[in-house]
Amino acid sequence: MKNPEAQQDVSVSQGIRMMFYVMKPSETSFQTLEEVPDYVRKATPFFISLMLLELVVSWIRKGKPSGGLDDALASLSAGIMSRLPRLFSRSIELTSYVYIWENYRLISLPWDSPWTWYLTFLGVDFGYYWFHRMAHEVNIMWAGHQTHHSSEGYNLSTALRQSVLQIYTSWIFYSPLALFIPPSVYAVHLQFNLLYQFWIHTEVIDNLGPLELILNTPSHHRVHHGRNRYCIDRNFAGTLIIWDRIFGTFEAENEKVVYGLTHPINTFEPFKVQFHHLVNIWTTFWATPGFFNKFSVIFKGPGWSPGKPRLGLIEEIPEVEGKEIPFSSSASQLLKIYVLVQFALMLAFYEETFADKAVLSQVTLLLRVCFIILTLTSIGFLLDQRRKAAVLETFRCLVFLMLCRSGHLKPCLSSSSFAFEQS
Ligand SMILES: [Zn+2]
Ligand SMILES: [Zn+2]
């Protein structure tokens, strides 16, 4: 089963199945962490293909796309920003796990046993449930996770709207597994658990009958993304909905779900999408009197304030009517096409940078990351129609030319391979 070529070994069949967690232990068990494929990176063409499929199905069924281009680009921008730190180091979810495994493990379950595989599947999903629940119930954790909920649409692109900060708290909830489960098995399930949650972000699948009893489904997760009062703090599941049923946080979809934050942020700027709630916590922290109250601002629910229960009052959640219109960009169609082209070019650089990271110098890596962040920011400014957007975009184009001249960026797309790297 040990396979030194594992990093290249994800077939098209496996690629499709991994998006739904339909994998066999025998094909996804590895002895060492280094052999575990980067399934999430190899999923890019499947993300794109499924998003295009959703677009087509939505056109056929409803005569309109499944969401706005502005919202989708903001979601993809967040996804890209959340992955950039991995260009420089292994994720903290793996680093901390390996440290605990090497120093404090109690027993070593066999890495090649199907029983270890199934136990890890359950363990990671259970850890995810509690991480996710705390990410909604603890304000400082919500500062990261709110990014994922900031879209007022609901389609496959929403799944990619990921937080830069969230990983710095999620690792805690998986660490008990490091006492007995090998890192290579954990690293496989951590990725599949994330990938499984991609396809459930859609409105084109209504109800899946008996599967709704066990699995987290599009219907269950739509409730999770709702800002209707009945949706708040419900359905925290990753793969199995059983955890919500067991711990009393399950809610079935009934009235029309209105998506997004209870107080919409009305922006497509990536830094605001990622960090605006941290600023809220900072100002609330200093405005709240008393040491214990300040402590509570950080560690109680986002809706808490002095005199209220830990998770705030549900009657303070703004009521929804079902007719709310999602925030959208006022940019012209021509500007949106320009933005889309710039985003596609940047995505090619992004994929190429990940593919070549082992051979690129740290300086080139750093400059490319800065250029990617600059591009995402400029796209946000253009979509938001900010006054400084034209200045920023001109500056970005100059930076692009300078990076090309100095050899840190390639001016032409030599990376048509990005969409088919695993075939
Ligand atoms: Zn959530
Ligand atoms: Zn979600």
| Spacing, Cα 124 to ligand 1 middle (Å) | 16
Q: Which of 227, 247, 267 is the last residue of a domain?
A: 247
33 and 148 together in one domain: yes
Q: Measured in angstroms, how far is the CA atom of residue 19 from the centroid of ligand 1?
A: 19
Residues 157 and 43 in one domain: yes
**Same domain as 342, residue 206:** no
Q: Residue 256 falls within a domain, yes or no?
A: no
Residues 229, 110 within the same domain: yes
Asked whether residue 69 is assigned to any structural domain, the reply reads yes
- Residue ranges making up the domain that contains 367: 333-418
C-alpha of residue 356 to centroid of ligand 1, in Å: 33
The predicted-structure confidence for 340-370, as pLDDT tens digits, reads as follows: 999 999 999 999 999 999 999 999 999 999 9
pLDDT < 50: residue spans in the chain: 1-6, 414-423
Q: Tell me how far the alpha carbon of residue 132 lies from the centroid of ligand 1, in angstroms.
A: 6
What's the confidence (pLDDT) of residue 66? 87
* pLDDT at 412 (0 to 100): 54
Q: Write down which residue in 201, 222, 247 finishes a domain.
A: 247
- pLDDT tens-digit readout, 17-60: 999 999 999 999 999 999 999 999 899 999 999 999 999 999 99
In percent, the amount of the chain with pLDDT more than 70 equals 95
Pair 219, 93 in one domain: yes
**What's the pLDDT score for residue 419?**
41
Separation of 143 CA from ligand 1 center, angstroms?
11
Does any domain span residue 110? yes
* Ligand 2 centroid, distance to 257 Cα (angstroms): 14
Same domain, 50 and 162: yes
Instruction: Please give the distance, rounded to the nearest whole angstrom, from the Cα atom of residue 333 to the centre of ligand 1.
Output: 32
What is the Å distance from ligand 2's center to 190 Cα?
A: 16
Q: Is residue 300 part of a domain?
A: no
Distance (angstroms) between ligand 1 centre and the Cα of 197 equals 11
How many Å lie between the centroid of ligand 2 and the Cα of residue 159? 6
The verdict on residue 1 lying in a domain is no
Residue 310 counted as domain residue: no
- Of 71, 58, 48, 63, nearest to 203 by C-alpha is 58
- pLDDT tens for 241-278 read 999 999 999 999 999 999 999 999 999 999 999 999 99
Q: Determine the distance separating the centroid of ligand 2 and the alpha carbon of 81, expressed in angstroms.
A: 17
Which of 232, 247, 262 is where one domain is finished? 247
Position 317 in a domain: no
Q: How many domains does the chain have?
A: 2
Q: What is the pTM of this model?
A: 0.93
Ligand closest in space to the Cα of 249: 1
Does the residue 327 lie in any domain? no
